[in-house]
Amino acid sequence: VWCDMDTEGGGWTVVQRRGSQSSGRDDFFRDWADYKWGFGQLEADHWIGNEHIHQLTSSGDYVLRIELEDWAEERRWATYEHFYLTGETTNYTLHIGDYHGTA
């Protein structure tokens, strides 16, 4: 996995990255298996996989941070407390808590 050690004190696991359209983006139109196990290159566009996110968040208390950048390079962010995904038997249901941020 890719760890962001610069944002808000570091220690963030990057679960998805999408670059600009001019950077040769990876196609995110994928099947269930790809979203289950992940795809792409960690240094470029990627998704680490629902099963991996489920395993990472199945014990402990986690925060989801989403960062967005628009065409004018203005950045916005959102954090959600108590983040986890359930397992495949419940279709990797997303659970999030309190929101903080600018997005």
Measured from the Cβ of residue 65, the count of other Cβ atoms closer than 10 Å reads 18
- Assess whether pLDDT exceeds 90 at residue 25: no
Q: What are phi and psi of 15, to 5 degrees?
A: -90, -25
pTM, two decimals, is: 0.90
Give 69's contacts (C-beta < 8 A, 6+ positions apart).
Answer: 75, 76
Closest CA to 12 of 98, 79, 101, 68: 79
Instruction: Return the pLDDT at 24.
Output: 60
- Assess whether pLDDT exceeds 70 at residue 78: yes
Residue type, position 32, single letter:
W
21 confidence band (pLDDT: 50, 70, 90): low
Task: Return the structure tokens found at 78.
Answer: 């959102």
- Assess whether pLDDT exceeds 60 at residue 22: no
